[in-house]
Structure 1
Amino acid sequence: MSLLAVHDLAVARGGLRTVEGISFSLAAGQALILRGPNGIGKTTLLRTVAGLQPPVTGRIEMAEDAVAYAAHADGLKGALTLTENLHFWAQVFGGGDVAGALAAMDLAALADRPAAALSAGQKRRLGLARLVVSRRPLWVLDEPTVSLDAASVSRFADMVRGHLGQGGAALIATHIDLGLDARVLDLTPFRARAAPAARPAGFNEAFA
């Protein structure tokens, strides 16, 4: 069963197309890794799939409320403990296994610590643990291993494998080899062709 289908998609950042002509699908149990040079549009593509911005052209097919999105902001409340943060997100998403989320990213020993007192790597681990309580089938992840040490990267990869094994899917932009059985999509061939900027209304060539 397809959890995500992308058809001839073009996306833009700052009014300029970044990549175009992209088509792919993800079925239950599958992962797709996005690759490409910095600035090509990986983040823009992920934000578009996650519904945070509209596509320029093309269409995206998936079930409503299918996506859990994790990017550079960890989405934490510093005054709340790790457990309280995860309970908050579990309520937002309609339930979830808080204890399982803490265990998945090796955070149980820190469960009662305020999030503000965590290191950058611990905050990242907590931000990723939110995925477990989301109960969403499609994880859309933008450079999820930033600030993680090697052991935490391995633990995160195990968490993704567990998600895939339970019938989920993952779309991940990363330069790190996570050791997943995943397809790779290099966005370089889909870089948008240069096009002249649109003329503003009332533009007069005589005053250019």
Structure 2
Amino acid sequence: MNKTVLITGASSGIGLNFSHKFAGSGHDVILVARSEEKLLALSQEITNKYEVKAHVFISDLSKSQATKKLYDEIKAQGIRVDILINNAGFGLFGEFEETELSKELDMIQVNITALTELSKYIGKDMVSRKSGRILNVASTAAFQPGPLMAVYYATKGYVLSFSEALANEWGGPRGESDRSVPRCHQNRFQ
């Protein structure tokens, strides 16, 4: 039985590359993004090319309750998530006083809240069965302030700090703990 990888933001960019990389190495994938057309095409391509299962879940993670609904739908289908890749995210460029607050709040929802919620829901499952991996995609933006992209840089700083804390709690790349629980990584492909 193949391990299953959940990838948010799977329809383009790094998420698309993760989808192919994991499917190519024999993992079933759960593809999550807003674009139904792109995800269905990707699912078909992955299924044909790699002969693995490619589950599609259309979800706009900028919406409140989207992550809980996604988690509940995955559980209802009896799919076990062995690896979670929190990749979905976006940025916004401009003078802080001129950018739209609604877009910045959506960014916080996707880049921070959805990532935290999925890590909580799926991480608890992983801890209870004592296996799993979580990869949270941050950015070099996490290491410095970002004028003209202040909220984006701040969200990526959160992702880095949060991921390092979980890596410490659950054991990770900087040293193994005695607990046999999920490994949490940031900016690292395993």
Coarse TM-score class (shorter-chain normalised): 0.3 to 0.5
Higher relative contact order (CA 8 A, sep 6+): 1
Q: Give the structure-2-normalised TM-score.
A: 0.33
Higher strand share: 1
* Structure with the higher fraction of residues in helix conformation: 2
Bigger CA radius of gyration: 1
**Alignment TM-score, normalising by the size of structure 1:** 0.31
